Amino acid sequence: MKMNYLIKYLLLLIPAFFYSKAFTQSKDLVEKENELIALNSKIDYKLRLALSKGYDSTSYNSVDHNVAVFEQAFTHLITSDPNTIDYPFNKLRDSSICVVTTAADGKMRVYNLNSWQLLTQIYQWKEKGKVYTKVTRNQKDSILLCREIYAIPVNGKRYYLPVTSTIIWPSHAMQSVAAWRINGNSLEPVTLFKNKSKKQDHIEVPFSFYNFAPKIKDSLLAFISYDNLQKKVYIPCVNEKGLFTQRYFIYEVKDGCLELTQTGPHP
């Protein structure tokens, strides 16, 4: 009888233990996020100070130093703590410091530090209870932001299609979509897109940045889209002036790939 009571008591303790552990992890991430907010405020202050002094190498060196500190702290947090893949980072997102884009199934995420000075991009994914990361660096004087991550099933396998907007100052702009497959600790490119002449693992759509320059945020929207019900990817057509038309290249799931089947309007 005493053994039965002991077992019941232990069973009651198990969920309490995991709840306490999850609460502690969440609290730790809240503190880390607040530290990043404080670091970014320091960057803003140093940058305003540098601009007020005109060109002053000492001031700009101070900005560069604080940017490096922020990037190092942010990268270390994401790459060392697997719990970050489920943490919302609402303060960083609301402050426009970081764009966090997550696939609908929660298994893939991309972080973009949203600044001309902060060039780090981090891919994060999970499989079989483990979380992995891949850190890349953007080109200087560029903005590169992941806008969407579509999780698409094809022949029983799941592929991830991040849609990325790129602006390279002062004139180049494009949006791209790539196909990736999660394979343990690696993200593998997949030649999933098929047209009449070839198969490829990504599609790029260059467009005129000047037409969006007055509204730079508009140029970072997701023009490439996916219809989950119809299982179709819509790639916008661009005319000779780099302007979007009302027509799209339409790729649909067919024979184990995304095949170009027609061009037409977006429904």
Q: Quick one: pLDDT at residue 228?
A: 93
Q: How confident is the model at residue 234 (pLDDT cuts 50, 70, 90)?
A: very high
> How high is the pLDDT of residue 19?
41
Instruction: Dump pLDDT digits (tens) for 202-230.
Output: 999 998 877 665 454 554 567 899 999 99
Query: Residues 192-196: what's their mean pLDDT?
Result: 96
Which of the pair, 117 or 179, is modelled with greater confidence?
Answer: 179
Identify the band that residue 76 occupies on the pLDDT scale cut at 50, 70 and 90.
Answer: very high
**pLDDT over 50 at 13, yes or no:** no
Whether the pLDDT of residue 15 is over 80: the answer is no
Q: What is the mean pLDDT of residues 175-186?
A: 96
Q: 21-25, 26-30, 50-54, 223-227: which has the minimum mean pLDDT?
A: 21-25
State the amino acid at position 140 in one-letter form. K
Q: What is the DSSP letter of 220?
A: G
User: What b-and-e string marks burial along 234-255, b requiring 16 or more CB atoms within 10 Å of the CB?
Assistant: bbbebeeebebeeebbbbebee
Q: What are 75-79's contacts with CB under 8 Å, separation 24+?
A: 75/120, 75/122, 75/135, 77/32, 77/36, 78/111, 78/122, 78/124, 78/133, 79/122, 79/133, 79/135
Find the mean pLDDT for residues 172-185. Answer: 94
Residue 14: pLDDT band (50, 70, 90) is very low
Of 13-22, 24-33, 226-235, 238-247, give the lowest mean pLDDT range: 13-22
* pLDDT at residue 17 tops 50: no
Between vectors from CA 103 to CA 233 and to CA 175, what angle results, nearest 5°? 50
The answer to whether the CB of 82 falls within 8 A of the CB of 88 is no
Burial pattern 95-121, b for ≥16 Cβ within 10 A else e, equals: eebbbbbbbeeebbbbbbbbbeebbbb
Q: Where are the domains of the chain?
A: 138-267
The mean pLDDT value for 91-120 works out to: 87
Half-sphere CA count of 159, side-chain side, radius 13 A: 25
For range 195-203, the mean pLDDT? 96
248 neighbors 266 (Cβ within 8 angstroms): yes
For 125, 137, 150, 190, 201, the CA distances from 249, given in Å and listed in that order, are: 29, 30, 17, 19, 16
* Percentage of the chain modeled with pLDDT above 70: 80
* Per-residue pLDDT at 82: 97
pLDDT tens digits, residue range 35-67?
Answer: 999 998 888 887 787 777 766 666 667 778 888
Place 80 in a pLDDT band, splitting at 50, 70 and 90.
very high
Distance between CA atoms of residues 81 and 24, nearest Å? 13
Q: Are 184 and 178 in contact (CB under 8 A)?
A: no
The residue behind tokens 């604080």 is: 66
pLDDT value, residue 10:
45
Q: What is the pTM of this model?
A: 0.83
- Say if residue 24's pLDDT is above 80: no
